[in-house]
Amino acid sequence: MIVVKVGGSAGIDYDAVCADLAARWKAGEKLILVHGGSGETNRVAEALGHPPRFVTSPSGYTSRFTDRQTLEIFEMVYCGKINKGIVERLQRLGVNAVGLSGLDGRIFEGRHKDSVRAVENGKTRVLRGDHTGTVEKVNTGLIELLLTAGYLPVLTPPASSYEGVAINVDGDRAAAALAVALKAEALLLLSNVPGLLRAYPDEASLIRQIPADDVEAYLEFAQDRMKKKVLGAAEAVAGGVRRVIFGDARAGQPITAALDGAGTVVS
């Protein structure tokens, strides 16, 4: 079992990811795709007159502040345009893909955080009305049912809170939780950079290898959203996933290249 997470930033080649995924699926591999959609969500939110708001926590992590209107835009893009666009690509390639959000069947579950602490102008504030959380539980029954029946699951946030409320969760950490729950052999975190860079954005500074027992020590090299990927990698290897690879989704055969050792390998 291989869990592949592909981001939603500019430059990602979804055609290349889907073509590689389809070839490996047809060769008999079991894969699950988890995707994001942040770039397109930002564009749509701007067009709808409700621009995105990003906040930074006191510990330095950046996330989207998700009020109810933002959540609805988020669902429209992630669960609609991006998810069905990927499913369509895979169907055209002969793969019987099924697109679901973590809300469906409560695949991803976690606690609803109504408020978030954010640092603004050097001061810590508490912002209320947030619809975010962290995946604490993965319900694998529906996923296993689909895989057994020959369907390739294509998953995306949001998740469900324990009360059944939709919550925005980080896709990389959700993918890590999924990989742990399914006892995956590998977790691939594909984005628009070749891996974790020691001196971002210098791609020549790529870090090739990270020891599994020392992942969090590399957080200092992670910029912005890459911090969540490193955190997700730490959670995955701690949960028993044999290797996590930060790979490049911009061209070529992204999945095959990552499994062959391109990018940053955590093992």
Alpha helices of the chain — where are they, by DSSP H? 14-26, 38-47, 68-75, 83-92, 141-148, 171-181, 226-238, 254-259
Residue ranges in the chain modelled with pLDDT below 70: none
The reported pLDDT for the residue numbered 60 is 83
In this prediction, residue 176 carries a pLDDT of 98
Contact in structure between 110 and 103 (CB atoms under 8 Å): no
64 labelled ligand-binding? yes
**Given CA atoms 245, 250, 255, 259 in this order, what sign does their dihedral have?**
negative
Cα–Cα distance for residue pair 264/134, rounded to 1 Å: 25
Decide yes or no: CATH 3.40.50.1980 for domain 2-49+67-108+135-266: no
Which amino acid, residue 39? G
Question: Which of helix, strand or coil describes residue 236?
Answer: helix
**CA-wise closest residue to 97 among 82, 112, 86:** 86
Q: What is the pLDDT of residue 132?
A: 95
Can you give the pLDDT at residue 253? 98
CA distance 116 to 128: 7
Report the alpha-carbon distance of residue 32 to residue 151 in Å, rounded.
10
pTM of the entire predicted model: 0.95
pLDDT at 87: 98
pLDDT at 59: 86
The verdict on whether residue 168 carries a ligand-binding annotation is yes
- 3-state helix/strand/coil string of 182-233: CCCCEEEEEECCCCCECCCCCHHHECCEECHHHHHHHHHHCCCCHHHHHHHH
